[in-house]
Amino acid sequence: MTGDGRGDAGPVRVIDVSAPLADGLPAWPGDVPFRRVVTESHDAGDGCEVSHVTTTLHAGTHVDAPRHFGAGAPAVDELDPLLFLGPCRLVRVDVPPRDLVRPEHLEGVLDAPRVLVATGTLPDPDREFSRDFAALAPETVEALAEAGVRLVGIDAPSVDPFDSEDLPVHHALVRHGIVAIEGLRLAGVAPGRYDLVAVPLRIAGADASPVRALLLPPGTIRLS
């Protein structure tokens, strides 16, 4: 989805790279799927519309806080919001399903503090959970850390492979203080430089939060 936001500087092209949060959005097997319940509605003659949701915090496009895998590690509300605002690099890698994104895939392009990796290995992520997504190799986290990357995003529902038990990538990210955004929707988005906006909700003490992830033209966000 794209749209035009109009500010003082004129129209800005906005690319929405987040999953729509709607009933039917697949959750990780065994986790609580997103569901919205309307308790008051205009159709029913109520004066207003009121709804609530039940959902895993790992629904659709979401930030994993270090707390997710590190006992005592920062929760989502303790992360610096500026991590989620600013220059990023979108990289499209050619990996088969179930394979790993390795350091060589990212050679020469780790030139931004935020890196988003498009694997293209999920055929229909808004309607069907696939176990065959490509994930990151643990060595890739070392390469990201060496390059000064603070945030890594991926179009897969996890940075580790589906059947990983010891979750080495999650742990390596926590060790290096790199936060992860999982479940990005990057199909059809051109690789290159952008500014990212993907701030998590301030959910106290939480392991994760859904985010609205947007790509803006590079240089749109000026924080200093």
CA distance 136 to 133: 10
As a whole number of angstroms, the distance between CA 217 and CA 224 comes to 17
Least distance CB 125 / Zn ion (angstroms): 14
Q: Is 64 in the site for Zn ion (CB under 5 A)?
A: yes
Task: Tell me which of 68, 170, 171, 176 is the catalytic residue.
Answer: 68
- Tokens in use for 19? 């999953």
User: In this chain, which residue has its C-beta nearest to Zn ion?
Assistant: 58
Contact residue for Zn ion among 17, 26, 34, 58 (CB under 5 A): 58
Helices (H), 149-205: 168-176
Minimum distance, C-beta of residue 184 to Zn ion, in the bound complex (Å): 12
Task: Please identify, using beta-carbon distances, which residue of 159 and 196 lies nearer to Zn ion.
Answer: 159
**Minimum separation from the CB atom of position 92 to Zn ion (A):** 22
- Nearer residue to Zn ion within complex by CB, 196 or 211: 211
Q: Residue 208 CB, nearest distance to Zn ion (Å)? A: 5
- The pattern of x and - marking residues 24 through 43 that bind Zn ion according to CB under 5 A reads --------------------
Contact (Cβ atoms closer than 8 angstroms) between residue 93 and residue 101: yes
List the beta bridge partners of residue 61.
none
Treating both helix axes as pointing N-terminal to C-terminal, what angle do 168-176 and 138-146 enclose, rounded to 10 degrees? 20
Span from 11-19, 50-58, 74-82, 106-114 in contact with Zn ion (CB under 5 A): 50-58
Q: 68 an active-site residue?
A: yes
CA nearest to 67, candidates 182, 180, 206:
206
> Which segment (46-54, 73-81, 122-130, 180-188) binds Zn ion by CB under 5 A?
180-188
Pairing of the two strands 151-154 and 50-54? unpaired
Smallest separation (angstroms) from Zn ion to the CB of 146: 24
- Using the contact rule CB under 5 A, the part of the chain among 8-16, 51-59, 118-126, 188-196 near Zn ion is 51-59
Question: How far apart are the C-alpha atoms of 28 and 130, rounded to whole Å?
Answer: 9
Cα–Cα distance for residue pair 129/109, rounded to 1 Å:
30
> Residues with catalytic annotation?
68
